[in-house]
Amino acid sequence: MSSVAELYRFVVGVDTHATVHRYAVVEAATGRVIEEAGFATSRAGLARAVAWIERRAGGPGMVLISAEGSGSYGSRLAKLLGEVGYRVVDAPSPKRDRGRDKNDAIDAIIAARSVLSWPVERLADVRGGPAQECVKVLLAARERMTGESTRAINALTALLRDVELGIDARRALTLAQIRVVSQWLIRSERPVAAIARAEAVRLATRILELRGQLKDNHEQLRQIVAEHVPVLLSMTGIGPVNAAVVLSVWSHSGRIRNEAALARLGGAAPIEVSSGNRAEHRLSRGGDRQLNRALHSIANTRMRQDHQTKLYVARRTQQGLSKRRIRRCLKRYIARQIYRGLATASCPVPTVMVSLD
């Protein structure tokens, strides 16, 4: 298993930000800093950065790019470098010593040096492909809409409990009640009731709008998943949203090297924490939190609805395991099943997008 220092001549570390990215060229064999510079994140700035890398380090075959934030601030840079032919990987989370200096140039150097001793098979290639980019946008939009919908429902509930408007809000509001409120007419009445009634109509109308938008979002995710990774939808407990999260992380065949890597990325890898006569494991807390949440959701769904899972839970409960520990075991099993399903399907990087019209 070859290391980065054995296969590459230079590693370029990138510390990404909203307006300026900082770059550092490091010699792979020695860790010596060759040069560092900063370029704007505009289209022209990114083009100058690519040209600077070619001049200082050389072509794609001998240079590895290790970038922080390749899925956020550095996504455009990662895409551009990938099109040129460079291999772009996610820089490991930096470990900082207390009392040490910190600036963008130092962070770029750390991003480069942190991967020098890594086996090339363990590097996390950046996510790519049009399907992954569409899923990323849709999932982010869904997160915002879900949050706004929850806030609007809470606000409407509080308003109806505070002001008597003829709706029983002692319990959670039903969809039928929200529809009734959205159809209210604004009558001339005492000022407090009129203002409260108007605000209730506005909140109810917005809740119904968001409900429709979330439904459209769900259908778009289903289309993309059905087009590119239909095997996920055939697995028990995995719906379009969780499948889209997995697609976003998986990205393309070869990005995740084995099932253990997927489990660790999803925070479902067991870590031994034994002491004395006590043999115990816990799950890793690192990785992609969206994927961890998806695995948690799938496990809960199976524990409620899947007959085989219910039998497994009953058997493990008789063995003295808590529900929490049983769920941990299920999350690791689900990660294994997902990896094997995707690896068997061998889905390549998508080149044709499904129509969302």
Of 191-195, 269-273, 282-286, which range is least confident? 282-286
Q: What is the pLDDT of residues 109-149, one digit of tens each?
A: 999 999 998 888 778 787 777 788 899 999 999 999 999 99
Instruction: Return all residues near 87 (Cβ < 8 A) that are at least 6 apart.
Output: 60, 64, 65, 125
Q: Which residue has the tokens 């470098």?
A: 81
What's the CA gap between 94 and 285, in Å, rounded?
16
With residues binned 3-state (H G I as helix, E B as strand, rest as coil), the percentages for the chain, rounded to 5, are: 55, 10, 35
Contact at 8 Å (CB) between 335 and 295?
Answer: yes
Is the pLDDT at 287 greater than 80? The verdict is: no
Q: What is the pLDDT of residues 173-185, one digit of tens each?
A: 999 999 999 999 8
* Distance of alpha carbon 313 from the chain centroid: 29
Q: What is the pLDDT of residues 27-41, one digit of tens each?
A: 999 999 999 999 999
Contact at 8 Å (CB) between 116 and 7?
Answer: no
Question: What residues form DSSP beta bridges with 15?
Answer: 22
Q: What pLDDT score was predicted for residue 351?
A: 39
Is the pLDDT at 354 greater than 50? The verdict is: no
Is the pLDDT at 357 greater than 70? The verdict is: no
Contacts of 20-24 with C-beta under 8 Å, sequence gap 24+, read: 20/45, 20/104, 21/45, 21/49, 21/73, 21/74, 21/77, 22/104, 22/105, 22/107, 22/108, 23/49, 23/52, 23/53, 23/108, 24/105, 24/108, 24/109, 24/111, 24/112
Q: What is the pLDDT of residues 288-328, one digit of tens each?
A: 889 999 999 999 999 999 999 999 999 999 999 999 999 99
Q: What is the pLDDT of residues 148-169, one digit of tens each?
A: 999 999 999 999 999 989 899 9
Q: What are phi and psi of 249, to 5 degrees?
A: -75, -45
What's the CA gap between 46 and 1, in Å, rounded?
33
Contact at 8 Å (CB) between 49 and 21?
Answer: yes
Q: How far is CA 134 from CA 66, 109, 230, 278, in A?
A: 24, 32, 16, 47
What's the CA gap between 120 and 109, in Å, rounded?
19
Q: What is the pLDDT of residues 75-114, one digit of tens each?
A: 899 989 988 999 999 888 776 666 677 889 999 999 999 9
* pLDDT: which is higher, 149 or 74: 149
Contact at 8 Å (CB) between 115 and 66?
Answer: yes
Encoding tokens for residue 109? 């150097």
Q: Model-level pTM?
A: 0.79
* pLDDT: which is higher, 348 or 64: 64
Q: Which fold has domain 4-126?
A: Nucleotidyltransferase; domain 5 (3.30.420)
Q: What is the pLDDT of residues 221-277, one digit of tens each?
A: 999 999 999 999 999 999 999 999 999 988 877 788 889 889 988 888 888 777 777
Q: Which of 144, 210, 204, 217 is nearest to 175 (CA)?
A: 204
If you average pLDDT over residues 200-204, what whole number do you get? Answer: 97
Per-residue pLDDT band for 353 (boundaries 50, 70, 90) equals very low
Q: What pLDDT score was predicted for residue 339?
A: 94
Q: What is the pLDDT of residues 16-72, one digit of tens each?
A: 999 999 999 999 999 999 999 999 999 999 999 999 999 999 888 889 999 998 878
Instruction: Return all residues near 179 (Cβ < 8 A) that are at least 6 apart.
Output: 204, 208
Q: What pLDDT score was predicted for residue 160?
A: 95
Encoding tokens for residue 140? 């982010």
